[in-house]
Structures are given as structure tokens and as C-alpha cells.
Chain A
Amino acid sequence: GENVEQHPSTLSVQEGDSAVIKCTYSDSASNYFPWYKQELGKRPQLIIDIRSNVGEKKDQRIAVTLNKTAKHFSLHITETQPEDSAVYFCAASLNNAGNMLTFGGGTRLMVKP
């Protein structure tokens, strides 16, 4: 089955700096890659996703890039703010009947004011 690895497990940045979280996946047939943000005690919230037919997608201060050849994708957050502090999860999915998501282990991002 699919295996997703996520790095780093913790990331501390100064407010206003950029943050990058990286994920690798094992199954070359995976074609959907969402990112979730989870604040303490809350549900994971979908913040951005990318499909295998595009290499990059942006939404205001966040962007995701995908390298299908290398089987890795990354989340980029620019101009970080304290409210960006949370745990971020990447995931990968095959476009099969179940569209089951396999998640990475998560990255705890801390933005210091």
C-alpha cells in the first residue's frame, strides 16, 4: 500500500518568515495530495490540495508544489503569522473506488511572535 513520510516533525519559525514542510510518497499511482491543518483539540481542516496534473497551486500565503518524478510534494507558507501555529498533515490518495487517504505523521509548526 501507499506510504507517506513527512518532515520535519517540528518546525519553529519567526513571525514573518517562511515555512516549508515536505512529504514523500511511495505509490506512483497516487494522484491527489491534500494538506490539512489541525489546531489543538480541533478537527483537521483542508487548507489546500493538488492533483497530479499540475505542478504548483497557490492560495494567498500558502502554496503546494508536486514533483511526480521524485514522488514528493511540499507545503510553503509565506509571511507566517502566530495563527499559523498548528499541526499540518499531508496525505496521498489513489484515484480508486475508495479514494482512501494515507496521511503523513504530521508537522508541528510554531510561529514565534
Chain B
Amino acid sequence: DAGITQSPRHKVTETGTPVTLRCHQTENHRYMYWYRQDPGHGLRLIHYSYGVKDTDKGEVSDGYSVSRSKTEDFLLTLESATSSQTSVYFCAIRTGGGHNEQFFGPGTRLTVL
């Protein structure tokens, strides 16, 4: 499982509330990613990080922010959740050493009512 955990694993929240999802890794990987998965869309990149305090936007970043204050933790925040953000969220890490493989965490199922 590449030492990746996500919390919470399931969350139900209401429209307009803030939500923070956490991704934790134990293997000191530099690159970390947040994806969302929706039926018919595959996985789409939200934000990624290439080091502590270094982040950049992905394909579907509107409505999301991220932070990485420690190598091991990458946080995804929905400042004001909307029903369109109901999805399964996956965190991933990228291995180093010239390899580009990305390995995924177990996912967080978020429902916004």
C-alpha cells in the first residue's frame, strides 16, 4: 500500500461547511497528489505537491485548496462544500529515483448534502 493512509475514510457533510481531508505517507516521498473520481470521468487531478510548502493546481482545482507543512502530510480543503464536490477522493504518491509510478491511498468517500 506504499505506506499511504487517508482520513477520514467516509464523511457526510452539508453544503456550505468546510471540509479537510488528510493524506499521510510514511516513506518520505517528495511528490503527492489529490485526485477525485466520478462515474464516467475516471480520475482527475485536483492539486499536487512537489515538496513542503510547494504546491500547484491540477485540472479541477476550483473550490479546493491544499497545504503541505510536513513531508508526510498533504491536506485537501473544501472551503465551502457544494453538492458537486460529492465524490471519492484519492491521494497518491510518486516514487523517486527516476521512476514515475504513482501509488494510491485507500480513498475517502465524501457526500455533500
Contacts and interface: CB of A to CB of B under 8 A. Distances in A.
Interface of A: 1, 6, 32, 34, 36, 42-46, 49, 89, 91, 93, 95, 97-106
A23 B10 CA distance: 32
A93 B40 CA distance: 20
Size category of the binding interface on chain B: 20 to 34
A95 B42 contact: no
A75 B56 CA distance: 31
Interface of B: 31, 33, 40-45, 48, 50, 56, 58-59, 90, 94, 100-107
A90 B51 CA distance: 26
Given A98-B56, A100-B48, A103-B43, A46 B107 contact: no
B29 to A, nearest CB: 12
A43 B31 contact: no
A43 B45 contact: no
B59 A43 contact: no
A99 B100 contact: yes
A105 B41 contact: yes
A43 to B, nearest CB: 4
Nearest to B54: A97
B48 A98 contact: yes
A44 B56 CA distance: 23
Contacts of B45: 100-102
A41 B36 CA distance: 14
